[in-house]
Amino acid sequence: MSRKLPEILTGLAVIVIAALFLVYALGRAQALGGSGYVLSAQFSNIGGLTVGSDVKLGGVVVGHVTEEHLDSNTYAAIVKMRINDDVKLPSDTSAAISSDGLLGGNYIGLSPGGSDKMLAPGQAFPVTQSAINIEDLLGKFIFSMGGDSGKSGSDAGAAPGGAAAGSAGGTSK
C-alpha cells in the first residue's frame, strides 16, 4: 500500500487540477455569453484582438469581445462585444483597439461622448480606431533616424561656432 500511495496522490492531484480548469473554463464561457447587451464595431485592422478580449471604459473592464468576422462587402473586420447591463454608453461613444503594453494583449478602449441619447442593443459605434501595428511604427522610426547619416560630410571642416577651422571668426585685416 505504501508503494501505491504516491500514485494515488498524483492521480488525485491531476483530477483536482482538471476540475479547477473546468470550473474556470465554464466561468469564462458564462462571462462571454452571460448577461449584458451586444454592440458592434467596424475596424480596418483588429491586430490580434481575439474573442474574449476585454472591453474597457476608463481602465475598468465593462465587457468582452464575443465575436469577430469579416464583412464580405467591405472587407472590414466586424467585432461584436457584450457590454454589462449596468453600463449605458452615449450614442457618440468611440471604440479604439489598444495594447496593454509590448507583451500584453489587445483590448477595446471606449471613450464616451457627450450625447444624451444612449446606444441601443445591436447598434454600432459611430467612430472607431483600428489597431496600430507596432512593428511598422518601429520600422518607420528606425529608418527616419538613419536619414541624417550623410550630413556629417558637408560640415566636416566647420568649427563649433559655425566658422571654418583656421579662420578668425570671419574678420580680416
Q: At residue 75, what are phi and psi to the nearest 5 degrees? A: 60, 30
* Predicted confidence (pLDDT) at residue 33 exceeds the cutoff of 70: no
Q: Determine the 3-state secondary structure of 151 from DSSP.
A: helix
- Domain ranges in the chain? 36-136
Tens of pLDDT, residues 74-126: 999 999 999 999 999 999 999 999 888 777 789 999 999 999 999 999 999 99
Choice between 1 and 73, residue whose per-residue pLDDT is larger: 73
Q: What is the mean pLDDT of residues 160-172?
A: 48
Q: What is the pTM of this model?
A: 0.63
Q: Amino acid letter at 83?
A: I
